[in-house]
Amino acid sequence: MKYPQTAILLFSKAAIAGKVKTRLLPVLSAVEAAELAAELQVQIIEKIQAASLAHLTVYAFPHCDPNLLVECRQQQGIDLGERMYNAATDALQIFEKILLIGSDCPVMQVRYLEQAIVGLQQHDAVIGPAEDGGYVLLGLKKASRALFEEIDWGSEQVLQQTYCKLTDLQWSWTELETLWDLDRPQDYECYQRLNSE
């Protein structure tokens, strides 16, 4: 393993029809959206495992998929912020660095993850911005509950609110290339083009 003191925490919703990727329902059925969510999850897991980059744990909500051939834990907490904070705190008791990522960024490559790990050598945090105003990656060497509180999860404000939190905490951070994640119908069009190349 290239970075044994780093953990990648993959946050993922269980692929339940009608409960996942609901913003894609105008263009996909509930079953198709769930199948897409499962496909994206498998893709990123396989990428990370093939690279043997760092320790990988899936944090699933509301439950783990027994078919996943990887360590899986249930997310713990009331909202996404609390669940991310709890996972980060647990992992940082064992690992020096962690990367929090989702399973819905099909263009995220291993090189991108490695850039985040390297960035944490000089900074307290690394952010991978998303085109929709959120982020696709958050790298940390330490955790603070304040970083995850009072964030409008799922909105276009997540990235800016997180920058404000980092500023308030007086943490240093660096930013990676902006990527797109697959949440909206226009993102699905990008995904289809990506697969046809």
DSSP for 129-191, written as a single string: EBTTSSEEEEEESS--GGGGSS--TTSTTHHHHHHHHHHHHT--EEE---B--S-SHHHHHHH
Predicted confidence at residue 26, as pLDDT, reads 86
What is residue 19's predicted lDDT score, i.e. its pLDDT? 92
The set of residues, in sequence order, having a beta carbon less than 8 Å from that of 177 and lying 6+ positions away, is 112, 128
The pLDDT, as a whole number, for residue 66 is 84
pLDDT at 21: 93
pLDDT at 197: 72
Q: How far is CA 27 from CA 22, 81, 184, 193, in A?
A: 10, 29, 9, 15
Map out the domains of the chain as residue ranges: 6-196
pLDDT of residue 161: 98
Residues 6+ apart with CB under 8 A from 77: 83, 84, 85, 86
Instruction: Report the chain's C-alpha Rg in angstroms.
Output: 16
Cα 74 from chain centroid (whole Å): 15
Looking at residue 68, what is its pLDDT?
A: 84
Comparing C-alpha atoms, which of 67, 79, 61 is closest to residue 152? 79
What's the pLDDT at 172? 98
**pLDDT value at position 195?**
85
This prediction has a pTM of 0.96
Below-50 pLDDT ranges, the chain: none
Which two structure tokens, joined as six digits, stand for 143? 């955790």
Task: Please give the pLDDT value at position 65.
Answer: 86
**Residue 42 · residue 121 · CB < 8 Å:** no
- Return d(Cα 197, Cα 194) in angstroms, integer: 6
Superfamily of domain 6-196: Spore Coat Polysaccharide Biosynthesis Protein SpsA; Chain A (3.90.550.10)
